Amino acid sequence: MTLSSKQLCFVNLRLQFYSFSADRLVLLLILLVSPCLAHATGTSPKQPLVIVTSFPKQMTSILKTAFEQNNPGAVIEIINKKTSAGLKYLDNNKGEIDLFWVSAPDAFEVLKKKEMLKRYRPEAEGIPRRLSGYPVNDPDGYYCGFAAAGYGIMWNRDYLQTHNLAAPREWIDLARPEYRGHLGLSAPSRSGTTHLTIEAILQLRGWERGWALIKAVAANAKTITAKSGDVPKGVAAGEFGIGIVIDFYGLMTKADGAPVEFVYPAETVLVPANIAILKEAPQPELAGRFIEFLLSPQGQQLLLEPQISRLPIRPATYLENKLPEYFPRPFGARELGAHVAFDVRKSRRRYNVVNSLFDVMITYRLDELREVMASIQRAETLLQSTSRAQPALAGATARAHTLISRIPIDELTAGDPHFAGKFTKKRKKSTDTVTGEQGEIEKSWDAFVASNYRKAKKIIDTALPPAD
């Protein structure tokens, strides 16, 4: 019997089908079914959960691994950015980021004002409504707290002993002349942690008195670091003896065995560290699951790992664990930040203005500020070391202090939305150029500040006796 060409083709196809091995059939089925499974579960390796955060890798890697283990198929991509740089990154990458995860609540207020956040109200149980009188979650539902965050002073015990220095306890201690050159801090334009510390001092002491203290403290700085994480590293390594840090840096470094201590000044704030879903998040459902994991007993327990050393926001976690004696207990110590009323909306309104003021008055004029404050400190030491009246030196010291304490704008102007709206750019170094209205304003500020520092230096040096 002779077969037609169509019959021969059919026979050939059947032979090819039967020649498939069992392994090949299984592989074919996997290739066909996998996309369907990925779609059904909502997790695909090609589309990870993308998180922008300022937290260190030793913290995020532990929580990332635990979440992925609890959610098979889920993949997290961490993009590490300083808070201020993270805000800019979110502006330039809309629709690509799922979660923003940093400490400073005022940074979330900036995003909230720009309508870049998605409402999400956590379902986790056992989370208090307030922390030292401060709402744990945004009342409007745009961001939520997962840990407590406090700000304070860290020091190296060996360094202080070597230099015969007493341990500081309060912000004002850091302005003492004996600490000149022994302090490290970051700029608020580079660090959300430092920004919140600066803003807290301004709110607690007032605009004029607050800036006067900030300048006096900064004048004792050996360096202003590129990012806040460099401050605890510098203290631990003995590059300088004292640093202004967020609590978890101090606690984590101490838990790691470094010869360091950490203290909360009386004038401090204790606020929630936060997380929020972006309005245009590609995976909002998975982002919500990550938030619930952070707030779960397991997620809160992981915050106590020595490599993380964060303060859980869930009060029961403190009762369920044996903690080191030095570890803070924010829900058991009424004095810890309880008397401080921090206005996050005020902070948000003048966020960029405060950052620019700090850079113009301090970061980019640090040498001049250090020189004039060194002369003032010398004069004050002379006045205190003798009972003989020295009215000329006392008057010159007072006039110099007044000149240094002057601020280019008042508090009302700094918080004016129209004025604050002009500040959208950030200089990474003093030689960078900022154009437009912001650039012109900063230029006038710089001339104002430089003139006052120069006049103050001349006044105090003229009144001082010649150095030995």
Domain ranges of the chain: 49-146+273-319, 350-468
Nearest 10 degrees: CA dihedral of 78, 81, 86, 89? -70
Neighbour count for residue 413 (Cβ, 10 Å): 14
Mean pLDDT over the full length of the chain = 87
User: What local confidence, expressed as pLDDT, does residue 75 receive?
Assistant: 97
Task: Identify whether the C-beta of residue 173 lies closer than 8 Å to the C-beta of residue 241.
Answer: no
- Report the distance separating Cα 446 and Cα 453, nearest Å: 10
pLDDT in tens, 45-86: 458 999 999 999 999 999 999 999 999 999 999 999 988 889
* DSSP sequence for 436-465: HHHHHHHHHHHHHHHHHHHHHHHHHHHHSP
Query: Which residues are registered as beta bridge partners of 172?
Result: none
Element (H, E) at 284: helix 284-295
User: What local confidence, expressed as pLDDT, does residue 40 receive?
Assistant: 44
Task: At 87, list the tokens.
Answer: 């805000």
- CATH hierarchy code of domain 49-146+273-319: 3.40.190.10
User: What local confidence, expressed as pLDDT, does residue 431 receive?
Assistant: 61
Element (H, E) at 289: helix 284-295
Neighbour count for residue 95 (Cβ, 10 Å): 9
For residue 327, count CB atoms less than 10 angstroms from its CB and return exposed for 0-12, middle for 13-18, buried for 19 or more.
middle
**SS3 sequence, 187-213?**
CCCCCHHHHHHHHHHHHHHCHHHHHHH
Q: What percent of the chain has pLDDT over 70?
A: 86
User: What local confidence, expressed as pLDDT, does residue 41 receive?
Assistant: 45
User: What local confidence, expressed as pLDDT, does residue 337 receive?
Assistant: 53
Non-local CB neighbours of 415 within 8 Å, separated by 6+ positions:
346, 349, 350, 353
User: What local confidence, expressed as pLDDT, does residue 342 receive?
Assistant: 78
Task: Identify whether the C-beta of residue 117 lies closer than 8 Å to the C-beta of residue 130.
Answer: no
Task: At 199, list the tokens.
Answer: 């803003």
Q: How many CA within 13 A on the CB side of residue 61?
A: 4
Give buried/exposed letters for 146-168 (b at 16+ CB in 10 A, else e).
Answer: bbbbbbbbbbbeebbeeeebeeb
- Report the distance separating Cα 213 and Cα 257, nearest Å: 32
User: What local confidence, expressed as pLDDT, does residue 376 receive?
Assistant: 95
User: Which range has the worst mean pLDDT, 26-30, 168-172, 374-378?
Assistant: 26-30
Residue 423, pLDDT above cutoff 50 = yes
Neighbour count for residue 45 (Cβ, 10 Å): 9
- Report the distance separating Cα 138 and Cα 345, nearest Å: 11
Region label for 164, one of left (φ > 0), alpha (ψ between -120 and 50) or beta (otherwise)? left
User: What local confidence, expressed as pLDDT, does residue 331 receive?
Assistant: 82
Q: What percent of the chain has pLDDT over 90?
A: 68
User: Which range has the worst mean pLDDT, 57-71, 262-276, 368-382?
Assistant: 262-276
Task: At 208, list the tokens.
Answer: 């004029």
pLDDT in tens, 115-162: 999 999 999 999 999 887 778 999 999 999 999 988 899 999 999 999
Sign of torsion, CA 430 436 442 446?
positive
- Report the distance separating Cα 58 and Cα 53, nearest Å: 13
Per-residue confidence band for 13, with pLDDT thresholds at 50, 70 and 90: very low
Q: At which residue do the structure tokens 């006096």 appear?
A: 216
The residue type found at 434 is V
Q: Is 202 helix (H, G, I), strand (E, B) or coil?
A: helix
**What is the pLDDT averaged over residues 8-17?**
41
Residue 209, pLDDT above cutoff 70 = yes
Backbone angles phi, psi at 333, to 5 degrees: -120, 100
For residue 435, count CB atoms less than 10 angstroms from its CB and return exposed for 0-12, middle for 13-18, buried for 19 or more.
exposed
Per-residue confidence band for 183, with pLDDT thresholds at 50, 70 and 90: very high
Per-residue confidence band for 36, with pLDDT thresholds at 50, 70 and 90: very low
Backbone angles phi, psi at 155, to 5 degrees: -145, 160
User: Which range has the worst mean pLDDT, 43-57, 211-225, 266-280, 343-357?
Assistant: 43-57
User: What local confidence, expressed as pLDDT, does residue 270 receive?
Assistant: 83
**What is the pLDDT averaged over residues 4-13?**
43
Task: Identify whether the C-beta of residue 278 lies closer than 8 Å to the C-beta of residue 117.
Answer: yes
